[in-house]
Amino acid sequence: MQVKLIISGVFYLLCFTSSNLIAQTTKESNSKNNLVIEGTVYDQSTRKPLEYASVALANNQIGTITNVQGKFRLLVPEKYKESFIKISFIGYKTVNYKITNQKSFWLPEDPRMLAEVTFQGLKTATILKKALKKIPDNYYQKPYTTEGFYRATSRKNNKDYISIGEGAFRVYQTQPARKNQVLLKKLRSTNHELYEGFTPLLATTTLLNLDVVNRSKRVRILDKKGLKNHVFQVKKVVPYEDTEVYVITFNQKDSFKGVGYKGEFWIDKHTFAFVYLDFAFSPKGIGYYKEKLEKYERYMLDELGITTKLLKYRRQHYYKKMGGRYYLHRASIIQTKQIDRLGMYNIKDDYRVDYLVTAYYPEQTKPFPKDEVIKSKKWQRNPYSFYESAKPGFWNAYNILLPEVSYADVAKRLKAANEALKQKEKETKQGKEK
């Protein structure tokens, strides 16, 4: 469940391969063959931009989402130039747009959301039991490959950026899950050196574990103990895309003394598939939380004099249907920690991860070559620096979640802050020598 801290300059857990550099250069040189669709998605009635709306080719196999300003950029292979892009968002009608030079896209509200849908029939326990039992039927179980992108950011007191990490990767998914593989295609990161213990780079295991439905036993709500220690209730049935879903809310039982959760699941009324999961530590449960760290992680934090306290933790996971099966579409992790470092600072670290699957290849069923996987591990300490890659175009060959601010400017500010910090340390050292 947890996203482990990565010690800056000590241990990067994302993989980076020399062979991927060659593949990356080839792909980027061919990126001119892609059509570039850019625009903003708006609420048709309010004219306000819609953040995190899904934008995909009509077959759903290639796509992205809008950022907080409602903006997106989608690379479309030349062979799809006569196709449509599909734009969807919860509570709105799904609209297909012909691929043109159009820059503004409008979504009308779904009138079904205004209608009262009466819940009748199955009990909550029965719905959950069916949903868990049908996971192998509802979710694609054969080997397949995906491409994805993630961005992880830390901000001091929800304002100034402390650090940024971004990565594009390929994932080979198979059963059993322990045979899954991740190959990084491109990575960059930067951080304020004063807060050096909190560079947000994701471990490959974290990337794989974001598919929570296919790893339901790891979600401490859907395993046997979780089902026993939480109260579940069907609150309503609401329309969702071309179907209806049960909205099941849950909370930690008062009698349970431990880490518990609060949130909701959306389960398709007809297929019993989980299409949306939103859960956070409950106000009571978070008080029982104790972060589990490896020995080297605990040692490094102790050496740096850093102590932390978790204040908030929330996760959201979205699935979408293709060809009769469901796939992870995107996920978010949001947490806030109180961080203290021996009187040097005491701040709230607001941390966010956005994970987006940008392409699905069900036909690609072979695992990655072993030599590439081995090389990945050897290259794990070599991300690009934002200072060297902040110029425009770094992600031109990739579908990504567009940034909400200019990260080139953020990188410059962090670089200036780090240089000022080093100068201060130098002056302090010289003063002591005198």
The pLDDT of 359-377, averaged and rounded, is: 84
Whole-angstrom distance, CA of residue 338 vs CA of residue 334: 14
Q: Which of 134, 152, 148, 150 is nearest to 180 (CA)?
A: 148
Residue-wise DSSP of 246-258: EEEEEEE-TT--S
Q: Which of the two residues, 84 and 425, has the higher pLDDT score?
A: 84
Q: Which of the two residues, 42 and 323, has the higher pLDDT score?
A: 42
Whole-angstrom distance, CA of residue 12 vs CA of residue 169: 15
Residue 423: band (very low, low, confident or very high) from pLDDT cuts 50, 70, 90: confident
Residue 12: band (very low, low, confident or very high) from pLDDT cuts 50, 70, 90: very low
Which range is least confidently modeled, 7-16, 274-283, 383-392? Answer: 7-16
Which pLDDT score is estimated for 30?
46
Res. 11: pLDDT tops 70:
no
Whole-angstrom distance, CA of residue 219 vs CA of residue 226: 8
In a domain, 289, yes or no: yes
Residue 9: band (very low, low, confident or very high) from pLDDT cuts 50, 70, 90: very low
Residue 192: band (very low, low, confident or very high) from pLDDT cuts 50, 70, 90: confident
Whole-angstrom distance, CA of residue 195 vs CA of residue 300: 13
In a domain, 11, yes or no: no
Which pLDDT score is estimated for 382?
65
In a domain, 126, yes or no: yes
In terms of residue numbers, what domain contains 55? 18-433
Which pLDDT score is estimated for 418?
86
In a domain, 333, yes or no: yes
Q: Are 185 and 170 in contact (CB under 8 A)?
A: yes
The pLDDT of 398-419, averaged and rounded, is: 90
Share the mean pLDDT of the chain. Answer: 84
Top-confidence range, 61-70, 372-381, 390-399: 61-70
Contacts of 111 (CB under 8 A, 6+ apart): none
Burial of 277 (0-12, 13-18, 19+ CB in 10 A): buried
The pLDDT of 87-91, averaged and rounded, is: 91
Q: Look-up: residue for tokens 């941390």?
A: 351
In a domain, 7, yes or no: no
In a domain, 12, yes or no: no
Q: Are 383 and 14 in contact (CB under 8 A)?
A: yes
Residue 199: band (very low, low, confident or very high) from pLDDT cuts 50, 70, 90: low
In a domain, 8, yes or no: no
In a domain, 3, yes or no: no
Instruction: Tell me the residue type at 196.
Output: E
Tokens of 179: 């045979």
Number of domains the chain contains: 1
Q: How many Å separate Cα 375 from the centre of its chain?
A: 25
Whole-angstrom distance, CA of residue 354 vs CA of residue 15: 18
pLDDT tens string 95-137? 999 998 899 999 999 887 766 555 667 899 999 999 999 999 9
Q: Which of the two residues, 322 and 200, has the higher pLDDT score?
A: 322
Which pLDDT score is estimated for 245?
93
